[in-house]
Copies of this chain bind each other. A is one copy, B any other.
Amino acid sequence: MTPLANDTFLRALAREPTPHTPIWLMRQAGRYLPEYRATREKAGSFMKLAMNPALATEVTLQPLERFSLDAAILFSDILTVPDAMGLGLSFAEGEGPRFERPLRVEADILKLRVPDLARLRYVTDAVAEIRRALKGRVPLIGFSGSPYTLACYMVEGSGSDDFRTLKTMLYARPDLLHRILEVNATAVAAYLNAQIDAGAQAVMLFDTWGGNLTSAGYETFSLAYARKVFAALKREADGRRVPAILFTRGGGNWLEPMAGAGCDAVGLDWTVDPTQARKRIGARVALQGNLDPIALLAPPERVREEARRVLDAFGAAPGHVFNLGHGISPQARPESVAALVDEVRTYSMRMRETA
């Protein structure tokens, strides 16, 4: 394997010193880029794009051509695993994900099985192709939705304001939800390990909906299964640790238990105060985050200010990967993204000089 030209991302996750704070952006290959929209047009649909390794490679690399990002992330979706389980994933234009066959009755839930990973071959093929195309420029991140977030969509059938179908199951039939989560945890671990085998150099678990739980429920229904995933992960590839990142949107109440779940880094959404997070978590794990994604709709100069505010709040100690606090908005201004990446690079270098 080609040695990495830029390994600041992996070193920051290991809480080692780096010359600058590495930066990548959740959903960095996305609709805010005209070149992404062009490739997606060519593919015909989001799923066709995600299932075509050559096109997935193309869009994965697009943001790296424009911006000095310190990591690439596989272009895919958090819901590929339940799709491979046969639930039938689709995306209506301008809407979120939808499952054709959500899990609503006990019989379907009892039939749920860990899918044959051959059905996710398009993902591992994309990982391998992206790794080759990257030629060691920056590390490649693999990912999946968390067992709980998968279950949210699998039961609800789509996004929701309150996930009341899922939550009603949680309160009325927790045994059924635990059965789904058990299958999901096994499947997600196998899936991430397959991505690591194919060349992913770090992995991330997106717990987009864990924040809709009570504190007790988060431990029982989300974190317990994230912990199982982390415990089952391969943690070395090419003689180097493969770090794992846990991101829970709305997880600010639970940073300490998240940091103890077996991950190398905790992703912070934009509502969390980075200084407080550092205090609460200490040096146990690295932190990733957390600019408000909507700040990227503002002009470049304002974005630079916000970027400095976030960097100052995290401080100069090692163990920070800059990111947004959630996925980038389709309305983000590319020129403001450019300003962000530049400001993080230059300001964080200056912070290290004066620290």
Question: Which residues on A are within 8 Å of B, measured CB to CB?
Answer: 162-164, 167-168, 171-172, 211-218, 250, 252-253, 270-273, 276, 290, 292-295, 297-299, 302-303, 306, 309, 313, 325, 329, 331
Contact assessment for A294 and B162 in the assembled complex, using a CB-CB cutoff below 8 Å: yes
Residue of B at shortest CB range from A325? B214
Cross-chain pairs A/B with CB under 8 angstroms, 18 sampled: A162-B329, A163-B294, A164-B294, A167-B292, A167-B295, A168-B294, A168-B298, A171-B292, A171-B295, A171-B297, A171-B302, A171-B306, A211-B271, A215-B273, A216-B273, A216-B309, A218-B271, A253-B276
Please indicate which of the listed interface residues A213, A252, A272, A325 has the most CB atoms of chain B within 10 Å of its own CB.
A252
Question: CA of A213 to CA of B293 in the docked complex: distance in angstroms?
Answer: 11
Copies of the chain in the assembly: 2
**A168 proximity list for chain B (CB < 8 A):** 294, 297-298
Question: CA of A292 to CA of B212 in the docked complex: distance in angstroms?
Answer: 9
Contact assessment for A271 and B294 in the assembled complex, using a CB-CB cutoff below 8 Å: no
**A250 proximity list for chain B (CB < 8 A):** 250, 271
Q: How far is the CB of A18 from chain B (nearest CB, A)?
A: 25
Question: CA of A302 to CA of B170 in the docked complex: distance in angstroms?
Answer: 10
Question: CA of A270 to CA of B313 in the docked complex: distance in angstroms?
Answer: 28
